Amino acid sequence: MEQGNELIVVKNMAKTYKLGDMEVNALRDVSLTINKGDFVAIMGPSGSGKSTFMNIIGCLDYHPAKGEYTLDGVDVFKMNKDQLAELRNKKIGFIFQSFNILARTSAIENVELPMLYNSSVDSKERKERALAALKSVGLAERAGHMPNQLSGGQQQRVAIARSLVNNPLVIMADEPTGNLDTRNSYDIMEIFQDMNDKGITIVMVTHETDIAQFAKSNILFRDGMIVSNEIVKDRKIAKLEIPKLPILDKNDILT
Amino acid sequence: MKILNLLKIAYRSLTKNKLRVLLTMLGIIIGVASVIAMLAIGQGSKQNIQASMASLGINSVMIFPGSSNMGGVRMGAGSYSTLTQKDAEVIAARCDFVTDVTPVVSKSSQIIAGNQNWHANVTGALSQYFSIRNLTIAQGNIYTTTDERTAAKVCVIGQTVSTNLFGAGNNPVGKYIRINSIPFKVIGLLAVKGQNTFGQDQDDVVIAPFATVMKRMLSTLYVNSILASATSEKDIDKVKDQVTTLLRIQHKLTPADQDDFTVRSQADIANTFESISNVLTILLACIASISLIVGGIGIMNIMLVSVTERTREIGIRMAVGAKSRDVLFQFIIESIFISVLGGIIGITLGVIISMLVGKFGGWPVVITPESIILSFAFSSAVGIFFGWYPARKASNLNPIDALRYE
Ligand SMILES: Nc1ncnc2c1ncn2[C@@H]1O[C@H](COP(=O)(O)OP(=O)(O)OP(=O)(O)O)[C@@H](O)[C@H]1O
Ligand SMILES: [Mg+2]
């Protein structure tokens, strides 16, 4: 493995939540390297520490964790809150199971949001890039729609467009298809594979083995530890899988 | 972080939540409007008192019989008989800072003209009385020193008396009235003065030469009061001191005796009433402040109710790269906008309410710039504090905790 190719390097990461007297060892001893261009699916039973791990490597958790974490060559655990915000803005795109897009805010304004916190983008460029991102997830026509006018799958695609818009190095997705049906899930996987083909690294948590089959490698968590890390053998390609799905309603098909 | 982006973020957030913005503003509007209206009413009554005090003659000094600090049962100044015409003459002769002096007697009397009758207070005083009391003549003349010397049966009457005896708009000068059956010739009509602060009609008076009232109507040696005017406002205290010294000698009081008279300047009385009116103003301001605070609590309520939604919103913003201070600035800009707009609407409303009170309530109102600045500053502080406090708490949260906030 080449040195310059490592994007995420985690060494002996451990995390303990304290709830009064009780201590929960959510992560015990996790070491992992993810290279640029990887597409990793993290699996494991509920409570095994997947989300805890994602939140730490996604710089969403300011509370300290033990161990070392390097993202794109920088030591994340040595950064202050503002620097972490900057990292999230420029290098990381986060996608959640519950979409987490702003209510009463149009699709395009949601996608513009990360660029409002990025002072190097002017308003003209912001509009153009937001539209381009929406187009890349197939929602160009829905730019002016409010979240309550969009289906779950469409809302998740708005969230993906938002995560893409600052050209991140890595997309981190915690159960991105957890609230979606198979068709919508596969559509999301198609977008992920496209992005991955363009060089964006993807780390995704999922409970569904068929969704994990779209990734390049699968990591299994159990009790706060990694128990296996395997290359996916018969990797599924979303473009080929979608046509095989049974058609329930013509309107379900993306145009 | 570009200021323009912050403004854009705040603007978008405000337009997305119009109802919340409106409800928040309502608290401020009501608070500001009530403070302005209350202070305008309070201030109005204060200026009203000052104006009517000034119309009584701001330089005047009054001397009443009886001590202001006599123990036991108080009968009120004026019930005692200690002052005489001689006292007034001594003050006029010996007091340096006095321009005019007059003894004053009065008697409540039945007044008849033709088949009309009226009841009024008849005042007997020297002609200086008119200048001391700032009284001006609308028709005719005041009486002369000759009238005084001869105890002439002439009088000057006020507008109310004239209207009741001779009818509105009729010139009473030259006509005769009977006071306690004694015929008097009306030689002057006073200019209208209206009510004083205490609601007394200052036009319901009959003024006649001192000697006339003293000799023809009363049979007493004592006068009700002595009225003097100081050379200027700043000499009032000197006049009071000199008058006290003179009268103590005149009344042969030993150092152990208390004064058997009371010296009051118009300014003393004005001050008393001004402090009463200040208390009133403060009271009104307190009531208004309570409404401001209630408004503030309303704002906090709305902010707290929306905090779940807002906390998640903050979590989302942080997840896509907002720093704590970006979030804080957004909330401060929002709060300032709400407070300022609410304040402006509140000021407008307060001014309108004050003017309506002034117009239909018959109550004088004065809107001062201070009250506007005060209520505006206070409401802004309340609005910004209550709006900003929950946001500050949220912006210090861990992004993932904000995102998961239930
Ligand atoms: N904020 C927290 N405070 C206390 N304990 C927590 C917190 N978050 C997670 N935990 C605990 O840490 C452990 C790991 O939780 P985590 O959310 O990482 O699991 P997970 O693998 O994502 O599970 P799932 O598949 O259900 O999402 C669990 O036992 C959980 O109860
Ligand atoms: Mg989880």
* CATH for A50: 3.40.50.300
Encode pLDDT of B336-352 as tens digits: 888 889 889 999 999 99
Please report whether residue A249 resides in a domain.
no
Return the pLDDT at B307.
67
CB contact under 8 A, B316 and A116: no
Task: With respect to residue A20, please indicate whether it lies within any of the assigned structural domains.
Answer: yes
Phi-psi bin for B151: left (phi > 0), alpha (psi -120 to 50), beta? left
Tokens 């008058």 identify what position?
A: B243
Please give the tally of structural domains in chain B: 2
Domain membership of residue A114 (yes or no) is: yes
Predicted ipTM of the assembly: 0.94
Q: Which residues of A51-85 are buried (b: 16+ CB within 10 A; e: fewer)?
A: bbbbbbbbbbbeeebebebbbbeeebeeeebeebb
Residue ending a domain, among B257, B281, B306, is B257
pLDDT at residue A225 in the model? 96
The atom number, within ligand 1, closest to the CA of A44 reads: 21
A121 assigned to some structural domain: yes
| Residue B233 belongs to some domain of the structure | yes
- The range of the structural domain enclosing residue A60 comes to 6-244
Residue A53 CA: nearest ligand 1 atom is 18
SS3 A222: strand
**A17 by DSSP, 3-state: which?**
strand
pLDDT in tens, B60-99: 888 988 776 544 444 444 456 788 999 999 999 988 888 8
In the three-class reduction of DSSP (H, G, I as helix; E, B as strand; rest coil), residue A58 is classed as: coil
Best CA proximity match to B227, nearest among B96, B107, B87: B87
Give contacts of A60 with chain B, Cβ < 8 Å. 318-319, 398-400, 403
- Contact list in B for residue A123 (CB cut-off 8 A) is 8
Residues of chain A with pLDDT under 70: 1-3, 248-255
Do B248 and B278 reside in the same domain of the chain?
no
Averaged pLDDT, B168-175? 90
B250 and B122 in a common domain:
yes
Segment B174-219, tens digit of pLDDT = 999 999 889 999 999 999 887 766 667 888 999 999 999 998 888 7
Q: Are residues B210 and B240 in the same domain?
A: yes
Q: pLDDT tens for residues B279-314?
A: 888 888 788 778 777 877 777 777 677 767 788 899
Whether B59 is covered by a domain: the verdict is: no
Torsion angle defined by CA atoms of residues B380, B385, B386 and B391, in that order, rounded to the nearest 10 degrees: 130
Tally the residues of chain B.
Answer: 406
Domain presence at residue A166 = yes
d(CA A233, ligand 2 centre) in Å: 25
B46 — pLDDT class (breaks 50, 70, 90): confident
B94 and B242 both lie in a single domain: yes
Same domain, residue pair B278 and B227: no
Domain of B23, in residue numbers = 2-51+272-404
Q: Is the dihedral of CA A166, A238, A34, A221 positive or negative?
A: positive
DSSP B190-250: EPP--B-TTS-BTTSEEEEEHHHIIIII---SB-SEEEEEESSGGGHHHHHHHHHHHHHHH
Strand B60-65 to strand B225-230: parallel, antiparallel, or no bridges (unpaired)?
antiparallel
d(CA B316, CA A113): 9
For residue A146, being part of any structural domain is answered with yes
Residues within 6 Å of ligand 1 by CB: A 17, 19, 24, 26, 44, 46-52
Query: Residues 6 or more apart from A152 whose CB is under 8 A from it?
Result: A99, A179, A180, A184
Judge: A117–B319 Cβ closer than 8 Å, yes or no.
Answer: no
3-state SS, residue B173: coil
Residues, CB-to-ion distance under 5 Å, ligand 2: A 51
What is the distance between the alpha carbons of residues B86 and B233, in angstroms, rounded to a whole number?
25
Burial B344-367 (b: 16+ CB within 10 A, else e): ebbbebbbebbeebbeeeeebbbb
Q: How far is B322 from chain A (nearest CA, A)?
A: 6
Q: CA-CA distance, A235 to A189, in Å (whole number)?
A: 12
Residues B134 and B41 in one domain: no
A81-90 vs B307-319: helix crossing angle, rounded to 10: 70
Q: Are residues B231 and B325 in the same domain?
A: no
* B358, B383: one domain: yes
Residue B69: the pLDDT is 55
Residue after which a domain boundary falls, among B225, B257, B289:
B257
Q: How far apart are CA A110 and CA B103, in angstroms?
A: 88
Atom of ligand 1 nearest to the CA of A45: 25
Residue A66: predicted pLDDT: 95
Has residue B69 been placed in a domain?
A: no
- pLDDT, position B258: 84
**Per-residue pLDDT tens over the stretch B123-164:** 999 999 998 888 889 999 999 999 999 999 999 999 999 999
Instruction: Report if residue B7 sits inside a domain.
Output: yes
B203 and B285 fall within a common domain: no
Query: Average pLDDT over chain B, rounded to whole?
Result: 85
What is the DSSP track for B98-122?
A: EEEEEEEEEEEEEEEETTEEEEEEE
Residues B298 and B172 in one domain: no
Q: Which of A18, A117, A155 to mutate to test the interface with B (most CBs of B within 10 A)?
A: A117
Q: What is the DSSP letter of A176?
A: T
Residue with tokens 């520490």: A49
Say what the pLDDT of residue B78 is. 45
| Angle made by CA atoms A164, A166, A171, in degrees to the nearest 5 | 40
Residue A198 lies in a domain: yes
**B251 and B281 assigned to the same domain:** no
Q: In the prediction, which pLDDT does B71 show?
A: 45
Tally of domains in chain A: 1
Residues B363 and B302 in one domain: yes
Last residue of one domain, picked from the residues B257, B292, B312: B257
In chain B, what percentage of residues exceed pLDDT 90?
30
Domain contains B217: yes
The separation between the first and the last C-alpha atoms of chain A, rounded to the nearest angstrom, is: 41
pLDDT at site B79:
52
**Minimal Cα–Cα distance from B300 to chain A, Å?**
22
Nearest to B322, CA basis, from A64, A234, A82 = A82
Chain B residues closer than 8 Å to A104 by CB: 16-17
